[in-house]
Amino acid sequence: IFSLEQALAIVALRGRLMQDCTGGAMLSVELGAQEVESYLGTELTLAVSNTPELSVISGSYKALEALKKRLNEEGIACRSLHTSHAFHSPLMEAAIAPLVQYLENVSLHPPQIPLISNLTGVQLTPEQATDPKYWGQHLRQTVRFSEGVRELLRDETSVFLEVGSGKTLSTLVKQQGNERVIISSLPHPKDPISPAKCLLGALGRLWLAGVEVDWSGFYRDEKRDRLSLPTYPFERQRYWVDPPTTVSQPTATPQKSTKKSPVLEHLYAPQWTLAPLETGSENQAQLARVLVLCDRCHLGEHLVQQLRSQGKTAIAVGIGDRFTRYGQKAYAIDPRSSEDYEALFADLRDRDRLPTHLVHLWTIDPEGYSHKGLTDIDRAQDLGFFSLLEIVRTAGKYKWSQPLHIHVVTNNMQAVTPDESVYPERATVLGAVKVIPLEYPKFVCRSIDFDLLALEDSDRAAELLSFCGGLGEL
């Protein structure tokens, strides 16, 4: 009927015109529209027919105070509404003509979808929709909400969705059709639930009620990649047993089979083999931007210094209580805060410093957590597995022109020799390292594990990390 811009202008003008009218009051009464008529007289008007047992009356302050006293004496529940004017009453008469005059210069169109008129309580006709006088009467006449709901209830498949905060209209509809699907889209301002969660819940309930959802439109602004799922080799084999026609007696004692059981062929133990360290290409050496998540053993600090001495951009990220930037090349974040990861990558993007390589050293520790307790093990997961998930979840929102190489460095996670002490709580990162590249093709992950106790010199440790930790790909 209107364009969005026209509707906003009409609503603004309508509000100003009504505020300029003579003040008044409104009273909510637990009576139906027909029962209210006997209480109105000449100074009061039925403003709103909400339900068959709830109405709103408008009029002057004096007349409504007298009615309120009478209703209380008769034991009829009522309450004054917090409003400055007597809307939908003769006191709004002065606002009608200016609004109609404005609407005469607005291009009005027949509705494209069926609409229920609050003026008549039945479906809006094309003639009404394009008549400026019809819209002017909305200021003066009764709001037929109850009658409109009754009209909608004639369709047994109807689903009611309240657009706006709270459950005021939903509650009114339930008083007439409690068996119907009635959904609120946004929470009341005092409700603890977030608006986004409430809106998504409403969408889910609409889908359950059979409403067709435009999922393409729902996901339109999300960046998604198509992944190929692994196929499953269905190998059909039949194992029918044909019973013998006669039972024969054994003629000899069965001998023990010397054939190797097929089950043993599926058992294995990992074997480690020595291999030379790979060196990387020199062509991309000056293009590298390395984000280093620094450990408390200072290996990360030495690595950052070494990378900078080679002319590379190395940015250090330490563990802190909240997101903080120190100068141009250092940060601190709370590993448990999703917002801190968001702030980190947003700042890197804004400063054109999104990394080409990320070295994760937060799990480096001379001691394990397994022997300490569940709290410390949870801490290990926050610094290891969960931090990886947060990094990838956040980084995955950005477009990467070249692969992001993620190097997850741990100590004493793998048992290469029999006499090594291992800390199994760190092994959870292996699952993330294997799965991340499958879900994010632009991310290349590598796990590097070494014996921290075997490295006594910190400079030597930094050199090892720079060379062995995949940074040779720079």
Question: Which of 118, 144, 170 lies at the terminal end of a domain, its last residue?
Answer: 144
408, part of any domain: yes
Same domain, 127 and 159: no
Structure tokens at 410: 């741990």
Same domain, 357 and 430: yes
pLDDT digits (tens, 9 = 90+) for 40-99: 988 899 999 999 999 999 999 999 999 999 999 999 999 999 999 999 999 999 999 999
Distance of CA 203 to the CA centre of its chain: 13
Same domain, 322 and 445: yes
Structure tokens at 4: 């969005």
Q: Nearest CA to 119 among 160, 78, 159, 147?
A: 147
pLDDT digits (tens, 9 = 90+) for 325-347: 998 899 999 999 999 999 999 99
Question: Which of 144, 174, 193 lies at the terminal end of a domain, its last residue?
Answer: 144
Strands (E), 260-301: 289-293
DSSP strand pairing (404-411 vs 443-450): parallel
Who has greater pLDDT, 285 or 139?
139
Same domain, 456 and 348: yes
Q: What is the pLDDT of residue 284?
A: 47
In terms of phi and psi (left: phi > 0; alpha: psi -120 to 50; beta: otherwise), the region of 305 is: alpha
pLDDT digits (tens, 9 = 90+) for 244-267: 766 555 555 555 555 556 777 777
Backbone angles phi, psi at 312, to 5 degrees: -95, 155
In three-state secondary structure terms, 359 is strand
**In this model, does residue 279 exceed pLDDT 60?**
no
Out of 108-112, 178-182, 290-294, 400-404, least confident range: 178-182
243, part of any domain: no
pTM: 0.52
Q: Provide the residue range defining the domain that includes 428.
A: 281-469
Same domain, 379 and 289: yes
CB 128 within 8 A of CB 21: no
Q: In percent, how much of the chain has pLDDT > 70?
A: 88
Strands (E), 370-451: 404-411, 443-450
pLDDT band at 368 (very low <50, low <70, confident <90, very high): low
Distance CA 299, CA 297 (A): 6
Strand partners, 44: 59
Instruction: Provide the domain count of the chain.
Output: 3
Q: Residue 460: which H helix or E strand, with range?
A: helix 458-468
